[in-house]
Structure 1
Amino acid sequence: MKKIIICDAILDIGVELIRKASDIELIEASKVPKDELLTMLADVDVAVTRSSTDVDAKFLDAAKNLKAVVRAGVGVDNVDIEYASKKGVIIMNVPTANTIAAVELTMAHLLCSARSLVNSHKQLKEDRIWDREKWYGVELMGKTLGVIGFGHIGSRVAIRAKSFGMNILVYDPYIPASKVLDLDMSYIHNLDDLLKESDFITIHTPKTKETNGMVSYDEIAKMKDGVRLINCARGGLYSEDALCDGLKSGKIAWLGIDVFSKEPATNHPLLNFENISVTAHLGANTVESQTNIAIQACEQALNAAREISYPNALNLPIKTEDLPNFALPYVELVSKLSFLCSQIEDKDVIKAIRLEAEGEISKYAKSMLSFAAVGALKRILGDSINYVNVDFVSKDKDISLECEVLPSSGYNNKLTVKILTEHSGFSISGTVFSENEQRIIDINGFKTDFKPKGKMIFIKNKDIPGVIADISTILAKHNINIADFRLGRDGTGFALAVILIDEKVDNALLDKINKLDSCVFAKYAELL
């Protein structure tokens, strides 16, 4: 029975989905001290975490059977994705469940920055002072909002701000300009231009080496005097020391902030400033958001434990949900081609796995190579190889992974997997007809056509009379029923037979076929 551990608190509506699963053992450890948690991970298959649990080397080394981690939320700052990949652990997050909550909190800070709402509220409610003259604000109408990062959240903030009559400038070098221009907003190629022209600036990027501290002293110096800054994304995107200087000098008129580099931030120097609205990392804290996060995280954990799917995986070679429909069958096909190839080319050390792609599918060739490599190495390494660690394992074993796009040879789409060893090599090609009619169409240069499924014998033989009769006689004597018989010829005196059979065959039967004078080799292989 697979085991799922809940490391941090999430709403019970999600946990209940796992409790009800008859095939899953649930470990509820959200209230367990973190040092004690490490002792509970040894035989866990999937872990569900939030920001309170560091998925670091200690965690991953302790979880010796771990297959996947679901980060119940967007940010993965507390997850060592590179080390997880080396360990073969799939990391997933829940990127859209709290989108609207984060968008609306950003808008709350944006409005507060324009009207000093928290200060005027405090003066009246706590100090009981009625002072209208002190709290002159500014209107959003006609002002320019600079949006850094135009993903799920940044784009929605921009749309809402535009409805207030704001002019929108967008800086995001990783999206096409048309995504912005189609919304009647301005796409800015240079961050400096956005900094210089914006009255308000909000940031919505992930936290990476590139974005950590991306707005610091130099960037703030380029901004308008009296600029208003918002950060409801990730702590540290704005340099916090530089923010303090900007607030102190008056360069920054207001800061709206929900996230800090180190949390909890109860003694942070930014809290000493009056012209700041601050919340305690509440971006996802709505009933709707937490409900969505809990349900989606637990559904993902169940799917991962059952090895059904890995939605929102951050370290898989490709998200299959992002592939066009025509490409989906090729993911399965290329895995079958490579696994089949490895069963035939099974006597020598693999030195290279090569994928050749033709047609529209070649756009996804590099990602398909990862699936091919897993299929090729699975016979040798079993469950220890997967789509996450295949690159690392291949390098460790000095196996080259190669990919090439070729001109069409007559098929709309075609994939060829080649396994090269120290002394030889073998290749198998396949395509997909109609919507999901997978076919193997070439084996080591011999044309053929059969479905990649079932039990089969591959026989290369001299192209002489009597071969089929000899093989059929041997199979009949061992009560092996032939389901299909495909024969390809190469025009140089050899033929390749693919015999689909109903039962497995043993080495003794293969030895008899291999001893035929006409036989070059006979191999048994199987595809589910």
Structure 2
Amino acid sequence: MRVLYTDPAWAIAGRDRPDPALAWVEREVFGPEVELDLGLYDDGYVTSGDAFLAYAEGADALVVYRCQVTPELLAVVKPSCRVIARSGVGLDNLNIPSLVEWGVYGFHVPDYCGDEVTTHTAALLLALERGVCVQDRLVKSRQWGIHAGGVPRRVAERSVGIVGFGRIGRASARKLQPFYDRVHAYDPYVAADVMAGHGVRHAGSLHDLLATVDAVVLHAELTDETDHLIDERALAAVKPGCLLVNTARGRLVDPGAVRGALDDGRLAGFASDVFSPEDPNRSAVTRELLTRDNVIVSSHRAFLSEESELSLRRRVAAGVRTVLVEDVPPIDGRVA
């Protein structure tokens, strides 16, 4: 049985091409029954086009990272492929409707990096609050000054809002509660009673949340409903001086709207681990955001730790093996 990992970032780890020696976790889980394929590589992973489709043909399982599961891909792998795993939390590139149509199992691992993402969220937000990155740059460039970069506000007298109150949103609330006076949340699919049980105040709408809180963190899933959820209309409602942090998905936020809100002072700062396109230097709008002192960015690594990466790899491999070897459906990576 052949398991094709289309674009495993861990298989490169600073090298110029995938290194099979790095796949020890997967070999440990799969055993000798499975042939492990680390993808088509040509100065970067090839995850689309005719060459990729021909390469994927005959795979019994796919593990995708950034690779998009398209109807064309499913058409060439369906005769043999029984399961497609998303190596990560999000579902946006799994193409669930097409998986259902073609009768292929699909799963992700929604809970492997909650500690890492929420810690990263708090780090970005508090760095904005305290002007840490501005001070770091100024002092290192011989511009030492206590008041340089502005005077921070007292966080203990402020409120923070969370958009998306699933696993990560709830863990984020727990980590932010010691810093902020009040934590609010908006999630149309979570009852107010659940939020109350976590010591969080329920917001009846996104508008109500944005108009109320002093800082907002995004933990929503990317769907058709949430694509550009934070747009010009949404940001028109924000409380002046609000901070915005995105560690979820780049397309939750319209970067042009963020730029406008920063320009007119509705937003006092923006921090993001995620963009669309993924490297913000590849877009004129997001590249301009990078020049601003009140913008902090990182390279889509909020999920990352040695422990989380190994756990994800082991659970993905175990889920795929469950289907191929044991003929049992996977359950969101909760198999190890």
Which interval holds the TM-score relative to the shorter structure? 0.7 to 0.9
Answer yes or no: is 1:299 the counterpart of 2:318. yes
Q: Structure 1 or 2: larger strand share?
A: 1
Q: 1:23 aligns with which of 33, 37, 42?
A: 33
> Displacement, 1:29?
1.7
What's the secondary structure of 1:163's corresponding residue? coil
Q: What is the CA–CA distance in structure 2 between the aligned matches of 1:67 and 1:44, rounded to whole Å?
A: 9
Q: Report if the CA contact (8 A) 1:43-1:63 is conserved.
A: yes
Residue 243 of structure 1 corresponds to 258
Q: What is the CA–CA distance in structure 2 between the aligned matches of 1:240 and 1:140, rounded to whole Å?
A: 26
Answer yes or no: is 1:172 the counterpart of 2:171. no
Q: Give the AA of the match of 1:17.
A: E
Deviations 1:208-240 (A, max 9, x none): 111111221122111111110011001121221
Q: 2:145 aligns with which of 126, 131, 134?
A: 131
> Displacement, 1:60?
1.4
Residue 298 of structure 2 corresponds to 279
Residue 348 of structure 1 corresponds to none
Q: What is the CA–CA distance in structure 1 between the aligned matches of 2:3 and 2:191, rounded to whole Å?
A: 40
Deviations 1:299-332 (A, max 9, x none): 111112122231218xxxxx9x9xxxxxxxxxxx
Q: Give the AA of the match of 1:43.
A: G
Q: Report if the CA contact (8 A) 2:290-2:296 is conserved.
A: no
Larger Rg: 1
Deviations 1:189-226 (A, max 9, x none): 22222111100011111011111112211221111111
Report 1:382-401 matches (<5 A): none
Q: Report if the CA contact (8 A) 2:186-2:209 is conserved.
A: yes
Q: What is the CA–CA distance in structure 2 between the aligned matches of 1:263 and 1:235, rounded to whole Å?
A: 7
Q: 2:276 aligns with which of 241, 247, 261?
A: 261
Q: Report if the CA contact (8 A) 1:215-1:238 is conserved.
A: yes
Q: What is the CA–CA distance in structure 2 between the aligned matches of 1:166 and 1:62, rounded to whole Å?
A: 54
Residue 18 of structure 2 corresponds to none
Residue 55 of structure 1 corresponds to 69
Answer yes or no: is 1:228 the counterpart of 2:243. yes
* TM-score of the superposed pair, with normalisation by structure 2: 0.87
**Root mean square deviation, CA, Å:** 1.9
Decide which moves more: 143-152 or 9-18: 9-18
Q: What is the CA–CA distance in structure 2 between the aligned matches of 1:287 and 1:138, rounded to whole Å?
A: 35
Q: Give the AA of the match of 2:38.
A: E
Higher relative contact order (Cα pairs below 8 Å, separated by 6+ residues): 2
Answer yes or no: is 1:191 the counterpart of 2:191. no
What's the secondary structure of 2:31's corresponding residue? coil
Identity, % of aligned positions:
24
* TM-score of the superposed pair, with normalisation by structure 1: 0.56
Q: What is the CA–CA distance in structure 1 between the aligned matches of 2:122 and 2:276, rounded to whole Å?
A: 22
Answer yes or no: is 1:310 the counterpart of 2:321. no
Cα 1:255–1:13 change in 2 (3 A) is farther
Residue 499 of structure 1 corresponds to none
> Displacement, 1:72?
0.6
> Displacement, 1:42?
1.9
> Displacement, 1:13?
4.4
In the alignment, structure 2 segments of 5+ residues that lack a partner are 12-22
Residue 213 of structure 1 corresponds to 228
Answer yes or no: is 1:70 the counterpart of 2:81. no
What's the secondary structure of 1:4's corresponding residue? strand
Q: Give the AA of the match of 1:8.
A: D
> Displacement, 1:30?
5.9
Q: Report if the CA contact (8 A) 2:170-2:198 is conserved.
A: no
Structure 1's consecutive aligned runs of 4 or more residues displaced over 6 angstroms after TM superposition are: none
Residue 104 of structure 2 corresponds to 89
Q: 2:135 aligns with which of 111, 116, 120?
A: 120
Residue 46 of structure 2 corresponds to 33
